[in-house]
Amino acid sequence: MRIALYNPDSRAEFWIDGLHAVWPDAEVALWSPGSAPADFAIAWTPPQAFFDEQPGLRAVFNLGAGVDALMRLRIPPQTQVVRLEDAGMAVQMAEYVCHAVLRHFRGLDTYEADARARRWRYHPVVMRSDFPVGVMGLGVLGSRVVQALRGFEFPVNAWSRQPKMVDGVQCFAGGDQLDAFLAASKVLVCLLPLTVDTQNILNHRNLSRLQPGGYVINVARGAHLVDADLLALLDSGHLAGAMLDVFRTEPLPPEHPFWGHAQISITPHMSARTLEAESLAQIIAKLQALLQGQPVDGLVQRERGY
Ligand code: NAP
Ligand code: GLV
């Protein structure tokens, strides 16, 4: 068995040693143009040539939860696309989103500015009932985030493609219920996969439907958000702020107006990092299942794009 790695951000020896511990006879090598074609691949954002030169690939394991970069490529029809599910990312996402929600809810930026000015004063208490949080995407990560937000007793709404029921959460589904979901939410968390149906979904029309003083947390993909629409709604006062982890161009270019904007917090695509040990263990389990002809979790349905 040959396994090709394309993983520019990670240590190749870690993956080669980890895979050899289970399959000592496997040929595991970093892919570069002209490499011998492999049976399986473990990859993050490979180039088109990666698939063009390996037409017999049986499966590619995506080194992340989101497969949008792979879905933009021509992948051989028989190649199964398998993504990471959680693998230590869900708890990180819950930490990040709860931090953003709590920081805004408790006015901690204002208190921090007061502290820097040596000012001891109180700001009005905001009631939880006036702070409903809407989570777009109720998958592996969205479900964990919803659960964490419920732990802080926020009213929580969630929106998915297929109807769902979650205890204590007002669930909405499909395009028909999007407006009702937005109107019920003040804080909007985006945890959707990037697909033809979801790109640009954080646009002027939809963000305008959030309750006044709304706040946007985008931890999914930069292309969900129409940057100019966010800026316009911050300027108009309809939105109070945003915390953004993902951007159309990464790294965010130095001249981008988001940098230094008083109402926008920026992090460099770190809300849920891919953890090596968890990812290796999950991919080994999935490859074992595949080799034994058993069902594999996290198979991407190519026709829907996630
Ligand atoms: P997932 O398990 O596939 O969940 C996706 C959710 O989105 C599902 O609930 C799905 O609805 C919903 N959805 C998809 N298309 C929709 C549509 N057109 N309308 C309404 N709902 C729709 O994905 P995940 O593992 O939670 O990951 C979500 C995304 O997070 C990834 O795709 C990635 O882009 C992003 N991410 C970011 C980071 C970071 O560090 N910033 C890290 C990891 C992941 P159904 O349940 O009905 O199918
Ligand atoms: C990171 O953004 C991922 O999709 O895992």
Q: What pLDDT was estimated at residue 72?
A: 98
Q: What pLDDT was estimated at residue 45?
A: 96
Q: Indicate if 269 belongs to the active site.
A: yes
Report the Cα 110 to chain-centroid distance in Å: 28
**Cα 302–85–71 angle (5° rounding)?**
25
Burial 96-133 (b: 16+ CB within 10 A, else e): bbbebbebbbebeeeeeeeeeeeeeeeeeeeeeeebbb
Q: What pLDDT was estimated at residue 127?
A: 97
Q: What is the pLDDT of residues 213-259, one digit of tens each?
A: 999 999 999 999 999 999 999 999 999 999 999 999 999 999 999 99
State yes or no: pLDDT of 268 exceeds 90. yes
Distance in Å, CA 89 to ligand 1 centroid: 13
Q: Which of 199, 237, 235 is nearest to 220 (CA)?
A: 199
Q: What is the pLDDT of residues 27-79, one digit of tens each?
A: 999 999 999 999 999 999 999 999 999 999 999 999 999 999 999 999 999 99
Closest residue by Cα to atom 1, ligand 2, is: 64
Q: What pLDDT was estimated at residue 48?
A: 98
Q: What pLDDT was estimated at residue 9?
A: 75
Tokens standing for residue 221: 């993909």
Question: Closest ligand to 272 CA?
Answer: 1
* Catalytic option among 58, 221, 273, 302: 221
Q: Which helix (H) or strand (E) segment is 52 a member of?
A: helix 48-52
Cα torsion angle, 38, 43, 49, 52, sign? positive
> How does DSSP classify residue 176?
G
Q: Which amino acid is at 247?
A: F
* Catalytic option among 2, 256, 269, 302: 269
**Domains, the chain, with CATH or none:** 2-87+275-291 (3.40.50.720), 89-266 (3.40.50.720)
Q: What pLDDT was estimated at residue 169?
A: 98
Q: What pLDDT was estimated at residue 21?
A: 98
Q: Which amino acid is at 181?
A: F
Pair 280, 16: CB distance under 8 Å? no
Closest residue by Cα to atom 5, ligand 2, is: 64
Mutation test residue for ligand 2: of 91, 274, 275, the one with most atoms within 8 Å of CB: 274
CA–CA dist 250, 92 (Å, integer): 20
Pair 50, 32: CB distance under 8 Å? no
pTM for the structure as a whole: 0.98
* Tally of CB atoms within 10 A around 194: 24
Q: What is the pLDDT of residues 104-140, one digit of tens each?
A: 999 999 999 999 999 999 999 999 999 999 999 999 9
State yes or no: pLDDT of 8 exceeds 90. no
